Amino acid sequence: MRNSLLLCVLLLMGFWPYQAPAQSISEQLSTLDELRLKDFAEFRRTLAELADTLKPEALNPTEQQYLNLLKAYDLTARGDFSTALDMLEQTELRPDSHLSLRMTGLKVNIYALSFRYTDAFINIEQLLNALPALNNANEYYQLVGQIIVLFNNIERYDLSKQLVQRGLNLTDSSSLVCRLNSFGL
């Protein structure tokens, strides 16, 4: 009885050593991807730690593609467009993969930020063709952002507003509504 009482007291006081189950690599990358949108400094720090601990041979092709996408986002934010583009170009794209579309979207974004509009438009067709099939608000948001940046840069605000409105129609998430509205003019 005394041991049971002691165990209950320890559990209630939080002294019981508890270890949360380890996240899979895919879950870690997904968590990191969401962190990128909320706290970029923490994203950058966590990405560096994760990249240092992961062994490339331990990653399946999708996980490697996801890690490269996240590294390319970091490089883009740092203004290292050339290295980010090299990383995106060297990553093996998987056909019909949402990650491949996101990589193409990041290329469009880099080209738009670099005022390389011809290169941006060469890549944007693939994204525009994929948008009508997207019914998941998160996936839509991840692709539409780069397209809207390009359309805003060339002052096609009417097209940007249409894309924002479709995204707003797909979601009830206040976070995504806020993010999408930030694209609107």
Interval 13-61: pLDDT, tens = 444 343 334 678 999 999 999 999 889 999 999 999 999 998 888 899 8
Q: Quick one: tokens of 60?
A: 């399946």
Q: Quickly count: other Cβ atoms within 10 Å of residue 126's Cβ.
A: 15
Please give the average per-residue pLDDT across 158-171, as a whole number.
91
Q: Is the pLDDT of residue 10 over 50?
A: no
Please give the distance of CA 51 from its chain centroid, rounded to a whole number. 16
If pLDDT is split at 50, 70 and 90, which confidence band does 86 have? very high
Instruction: Report phi then psi at 16, rounded to 5.
Output: -75, 125
- 65 compared with 146, residue with greater pLDDT: 65
If pLDDT is split at 50, 70 and 90, which confidence band does 11 have? very low
pLDDT of residue 96: 59
**35 close to 43: Cβ distance less than 8 angstroms:** yes
pLDDT of residue 17: 41
Task: Name the nearest CA neighbour of 97 among 56, 57, 69.
Answer: 69
Q: Quick one: tokens of 42?
A: 């923490």
| CB-based contacts of 82, cutoff 8 Å, min separation 6 | none
**112 close to 78: Cβ distance less than 8 angstroms:** no
3-state secondary structure of 15: coil
**103 close to 65: Cβ distance less than 8 angstroms:** yes
pLDDT per residue as tens digits for the range 96-143: 588 988 999 999 989 988 989 899 988 888 888 888 888 888 888 888
> From CA 131, how far away is CA 129, in angstroms rounded?
6
Q: Is the pLDDT of residue 74 over 60?
A: yes
Cα end-to-end span (Å), the chain: 68
pLDDT of residue 141: 86
pLDDT of residue 7: 37
Mean pLDDT, the chain, as a whole number?
83
| CB-based contacts of 173, cutoff 8 Å, min separation 6 | 137
Q: Which spans in the chain are helix H?
A: 2-13, 25-38, 40-53, 61-77, 81-90, 98-113, 117-130, 137-153, 157-170, 174-183
Task: Name the nearest CA neighbour of 177 among 169, 44, 62, 185.
Answer: 169
pLDDT of residue 18: 35
Q: Calculate ∠ Cα 79-80-85, nearest 5°.
A: 120
pLDDT of residue 102: 92
